[in-house]
Amino acid sequence: EVQLVESGGGLVQPGRSLKLSCAASGFTFSNYYMAWVRQAPKKGLEWVATISTSGSRTYYPDSVKGRFTISRDNAKSSLYLQMNSLKSEDTATYYCARRGGYGGYFDYWGQGVMVTVSS
C-alpha cells in the first residue's frame, strides 16, 4: 500500500524558514517524480514544486521560485520542501504527492501538514 506521510508543519513568523518532510513507503520511491501541492484555508489547490527521480531537475511556479527548494533522499525514501522567506500567503496545508505518469497527474497524496505563517 502506497503511503505518504508529511511532517514538519507548524506556526512560523513571516520571513522565517521551515522544512517539511514526506516519508514514502509501499512503492519504489526512486522510480517516481514527486511533488508538493498546497491548499490555503477554504481555497483551491496550488502546485508548489516537482522533482525528478534523481533530483537533478526541479520545477516551481513563480509564486515560490527562489524561496522554496524541493529535494529528495532516495536512500531514505524521503521528500523535502525547504521554505525560506515565508509570507502570510504561504499559509496552507501542504500535501506530498506522487506523479503518476507522463501526463503530469498526481496519483497518490499524503494526509497533508498545516503551515501557518503569522506573527
Partner 1 sequence: EIVLTQSPTTMAASPGEKVTLTCRASSSVSYMHWYQQRSGTSPKLWIYETSKLASGVPNRFSGSGSGTSYSLTINSMETEDAATYYCQQGSSYPWTFGGGTKLELK
- Contact residues: partner 1, CB under 8 A: 37, 44-47, 50, 59-62, 95, 99-101, 103-112
- CB nearer partner 1, residue 44 or residue 119: 44
Assigned C-alpha cell, 72: 529528495
Give min distance, CB of 104 to partner 1, in A.
2
On whether the CB atoms of residues 117 and 24 are closer than 8 A, the answer is: no
Cβ distance to partner 1 smaller for residue 2 or 16: 2
Please state the closest distance from residue 33 (CB atom) to partner 1, in A.
Answer: 10
Measured from the CB atom, the residue of 46 and 53 that comes closer to partner 1 is 46
Closest alpha carbon to 58 in 82, 38, 33, 41: 33
Using CA atoms, how far apart are residues 8 and 112, in angstroms rounded to an integer? 10
Q: How far is the CB of 38 from partner 1 (least distance, A)?
A: 11
**Cell 506556526 found at:** 11
Length of the chain: 119
